[in-house]
Amino acid sequence: MLRRIDRIQLAVPEAETAAKGWIGLLGAEPAGEDRIAGLGARRRRLRIGTGFVELLVPDGAGPVADAVARRGAHLYAAGASAPDLAGLATHLKVRGVSPLSEAGQLHLSERDTGIEGLRMVVSADETLPPVGEIDFLYEATLLSSDTAGITRQLNALFALDERNYTEIVSDLFGYRGTLTLFDKDELHRLEVIEPTTPGTTMDRYFRKFGQSLYMAFAETSRINLIAERAAAAGAGFTVDRPDNRPAHLPSDQLWLHPKALGGMMLGLSRPSMAWTWSGHPERVEAVA
């Protein structure tokens, strides 16, 4: 019942600082402001890729104010689109879940998902032209020590098909888990992973915040340009590229550090590269 990762929501003390990184580094464009009363928050929307970044600023008491007070600026909710939003609402209601319905979206709290650390915002699927320097968002990551249990809950909650899933293990970054691909031929998914190597950035994050949203990932055809902008701005980033690859050719991956984007880490991969670890390495296009 989910089609793609189409947006992410950040909870931030104020929107201006968070927006600067998305606009300056990634070419995001302002797409309006409003208020989500049920979250007690003002919302500033930015178009990026084929979707959105939504910055939520506390505007009185409510879950966003509580989240910012507890953790400061951070990734608040993973956003997905549904081809039949009304049908999804009915499916959830049958399961006893009645999330906040406001601004044309379903806002699922941790109580609604039944999964500690996981909030979701689900919108009607729409086709939008890409904006800025990323092509599209495709992943949001939940850290958990119970991958099997979480994926079972996600299957039931959103009627996902586990036959599309692929297992992921990274000795380099020290984690293992599951990619819950919404469609076997598309990259869009929630990643549910467990740190396996003590002392890594991911492990330290997990020990500090417990089961929680960690980061998001996007595909980009302009990975080198983004790295150049980050370097010029003094923004923190990490690059993954073969040592012998000529400078004019794209890196494989890049991570923009949380301070660069208002409190959350964003991973970027060159076109097709994510299929390396998503079940179809034969789909990865050679760099030439």
Q: Are strands 189-195 and 136-143 parallel, antiparallel or unpaired?
A: parallel
Q: What is the pLDDT of residue 288?
A: 83
Scored b (16 or more CB within 10 A) or e, 188-217 reads bbbbbbbbbeeeeebbebbeeeebbbbbbb
Residues 35-54 have pLDDT tens digits of 999 999 999 999 999 999 99
**170: β partners:** 175
Nearest to 212 by CA among 192, 187, 182, 188: 192
pTM for the structure as a whole:
0.97
Q: Are strands 51-58 and 4-11 parallel, antiparallel or unpaired?
A: parallel
Q: What is the pLDDT of residue 209?
A: 97
Q: What is the pLDDT of residue 261?
A: 97
The half-sphere exposure of 156 on its side-chain side, counting CA atoms within 13 A, is 14
As a dihedral over the C-alpha atoms of residue 162, residue 196, residue 109, residue 126, rounded to 10 degrees, the angle is -50
Nearest to 101 by CA among 116, 114, 86, 115: 86
Nearest to 42 by CA among 54, 50, 27: 54
Residues 143-186 have pLDDT tens digits of 999 999 999 999 999 999 999 999 999 998 999 999 999 999 99
Count of C-beta atoms within a 10 Å radius of residue 20: 16
As a dihedral over the C-alpha atoms of residue 207, residue 265, residue 109, residue 186, rounded to 10 degrees, the angle is -120
Using CA atoms, how far apart are residues 134 and 286, in angstroms rounded to an integer? 20
Q: Which parts of the chain register pLDDT below 70?
A: none
SS3 content of the chain, % helix, strand, coil (to 5): 30, 35, 35
The half-sphere exposure of 40 on its side-chain side, counting CA atoms within 13 A, is 11
Using CA atoms, how far apart are residues 205 and 243, in angstroms rounded to an integer? 29
Nearest to 255 by CA among 144, 165, 172: 172
